[in-house]
Structure 1
């Protein structure tokens, strides 16, 4: 059975939610993730006003494209979990299922993460936590430990193929994770060699990702290690791909579908 496939907003962050939904439908994706929360204060995001949620829902229903998750919450010492309520409310009203997070290290982090998870759970949402090489929670094991420390029953490890590998993870490590700890995955490719500096790691993650088959990451092994029920999306921001969004989105869908179906990419 072919997995359903989602399109993460970070892949086309200059498009509005409505534009992304329409692009997703035109290029064959089944659902989207949406940037409802800024990565940093003042950063680009598309949290809809209350009156706009109904219009976005109408467009999604008309296009037959669902909302899976919202991004991206950086859990740091300055984050007030209550500031996430509008984004979580909008996600819940639109039928969303997960909230994407990453975290820095600070005193009280497990409690702060638990508060985020509790607010999400009140709205029927789960929380996915990913590692990033330049943040305090910088390995798959650190993510699993934070989830355990928080006691949150609705939290899981987000397998972002690039971050997982750049943070020292392996496909075998995914397969060995406890049951229920992997709910969502995000796919892309990249050169096999890890960038040597933090600045280069950030640049790669935010604009240097490649279509499956264009790089050297062990994507087939990662897909094989995922639990059968894992929800798979594509997160593939690229600063160097000059193709129009529709052409690029179709190419992304084709390459990723070939990967998931075990065909040559």
Structure 2
């Protein structure tokens, strides 16, 4: 049975312990953790191996039966110092994470691929995969651009993180996704949205606080799931100004689980989501 996870951005105001507790009550099997800020000064919850906060978090995880699927978020800018990620990777490994999520924020493709490869090599020492997430407003904006970085880097612990909103808002489609080597498709983040994108000035706002729950919008999510490997790691990322209160993750989980249970896929691709 495949576990269903929840991305930290869905409830980024919750510190890791609170997120794990709420995710456990909601019925999620895993969480993603924002241990590194997406940009200087942005919200994040750094943890250090050997520190009390990490030990206490592991105890809460054990008590709730909730694991950590992924850690985030490293922006691969021209100024990034890959060596500075050692503490982040060590914390992720200690928590049992399988991957680190990064974005491509360097217009110099050769330098970006070099830094991505170096990070993959470092992550390999900790047993982690590095997932490159493309977003319409970043230099690595599309699925094709992300794959180009992976191909140039040539690392066997690299993949593309497929975020449903980012795929369709960047002009991507299911047909292109179906042609991707399955080894590069290890994780998907689900959400929904209207089929028509908002005005360009509102694209980032939609991604960060205006997502819909799976089944509440018009994105071709069933086709998306059908194009992915059956063993893909599934999580839901639905930050929304309308999701508030202590039962928000329960609402997110029930809606997502219900949609996944009813989605019509080829019989050999029906997702098996853990209760």
TM-score between both structures, scaled by the size of structure 2: 0.91
CA distance in 2, matches of 1:11, 1:73: 18
Report the Cα offset of residue 112 of structure 1. Answer: 0.8
The question of 1:259 aligning with 2:259 is answered yes
CA distance in 1, matches of 2:2, 2:261: 8
Report the Cα offset of residue 245 of structure 1. Answer: 3.2
Within 5 Å, give how 1:88-167 maps onto structure 2. 88-107=89-108, 108-167=111-170
The structure 1 residue matched to 2:174, chosen from 159, 171, 176, is: 171
Report the Cα offset of residue 263 of structure 1. Answer: 5.0
Which digits, 9 at most, give the CA deviation of each residue in 1:8-66, with x for residues without a partner? 11000000100000111100100000000101012211012423211111110111000
Judge conservation of contact 2:191–2:214 (CA < 8 Å) in 1: yes
CA distance in 2, matches of 1:252, 1:217: 17
CA distance in 2, matches of 1:42, 1:84: 17
CA distance in 1, matches of 2:195, 2:218: 4
Structure 1 alignment gaps of length 5 or more? none
Which digits, 9 at most, give the CA deviation of each residue in 1:117-161, with x for residues without a partner? 111111000011111111101110000010000111100011100
CA distance in 2, matches of 1:221, 1:202: 24
1:224 match: 226
The question of 1:35 aligning with 2:3 is answered no
The question of 1:18 aligning with 2:20 is answered no
Q: How many residue pairs are counted as aligned between the two chains?
A: 260
Structure 2 alignment gaps of length 5 or more? 265-275
2:185 match: 182
Moved more, 151-160 or 43-52: 43-52
* Structure 1 residue matching 2:262: 3-state secondary structure: coil
Judge conservation of contact 1:3–1:260 (CA < 8 Å) in 2: no
Judge conservation of contact 2:182–2:228 (CA < 8 Å) in 1: no
Moved more, 98-107 or 8-17: 98-107
CA distance in 1, matches of 2:70, 2:115: 20
1:204 match: 206
* Structure 2 residue matching 1:255: 3-state secondary structure: helix
Judge conservation of contact 2:46–2:88 (CA < 8 Å) in 1: yes
Moved more, 255-264 or 4-13: 255-264
2:268 match: none
